[in-house]
Amino acid sequence: MLCQIFICIDTPGNPDTRPHRPAYLLEEAKAGHGWLMTAILDKTYCLTKLFGITRPSTSARKAAEEEIKDLEAHIRLNDPEALVSDLEVGEDRLAGHHTCTFFCATLIYFERCLQRTLPRKLQPLVRRSLDHFDAVRQLEVQHGYKACGLLWPEFVTAYEAKDVADLRTRSFCLFNKGRAKGIGNVLSMEKVVLDVWQRRDDSAHDEDVGGKVRWWI
């Protein structure tokens, strides 16, 4: 498990690997570490169960339209707000809002990466995600909870925020806790988001030109 975690940490931090597909990275990891890494990655892959990190695919096949439709249906049918009634207990409410931020980020990721949905059409989903992040912060203050960081949903939400209705201002506040504690990956994520916002604002065609979306964090 530790070897798998180290590979996950090394991949976004190593500029030499960024142009390559996940499948290529997997093959390189096997070649570089010999039979032991092959055994680790092929027979005991556990990051999906422990952290929700799926095993890299070795297939370059493009997803079929029917597969994409099935995946979308699966995602939307698991909307936590539709599946779970109002939670009254503080800890349950906190877990519920955490779950909703991951759901929103997953749907944003799906829409941008597979459906090529334009960012301007995703702002209601960005706002919904930010509402849940705000609720998490309120519960932390009211009850003194020490909630863990939500790095991936924070990054995806902030990345796609447009400069409308204070969405970027609210998104920038997501980094306050990590920035105050000097957490390196949060500081790096903040720089990436600010750079993306600047590039989009400077683009003559705005960001709604479409194209492939890649998140390296």
Q: What is the pLDDT of residues 80-99, one digit of tens each?
A: 888 776 656 666 888 889 89
151 or 130: which leads in pLDDT: 130
Q: What is the mean pLDDT of the chain?
A: 76
Q: How confident is the model at residue 42, as a pLDDT?
A: 57
Q: Is the pLDDT of residue 43 over 80?
A: no
Which of the given ranges, 12-21, 51-60, 170-179, 195-204, has the highest pLDDT on average?
A: 170-179
Name the band, by pLDDT with cuts 50, 70 and 90, for residue 18.
Answer: very low
Number of CB atoms found within 10 A of residue 61's CB:
7
Q: CA 72, CA 57: separation in Å to the nearest integer?
A: 19
pLDDT grade for 211, boundaries at 50, 70 and 90: very low
Handedness of CA 162, 166, 170, 172 (dihedral sign): positive
Q: Using CA atoms, how far apart are residues 162 and 152, in angstroms rounded to an integer?
A: 18
Ramachandran angles phi, psi of 35, nearest 5°: -65, -30
Question: Radius of gyration of the chain from Cα atoms?
Answer: 19
By the 8 A CB rule, do 211 and 113 touch? no
User: What pLDDT is recorded for position 129?
Assistant: 96
Tell which wins on pLDDT, 154 or 25: 154
pLDDT at 40 over 60: no
Given a cut of 80, whether residue 67 has pLDDT beyond it is: yes
Q: Give this prediction's pTM.
A: 0.70
Secondary structure letter of residue 175 according to DSSP:
G
Residue ranges of domains in the chain: 2-51, 65-198
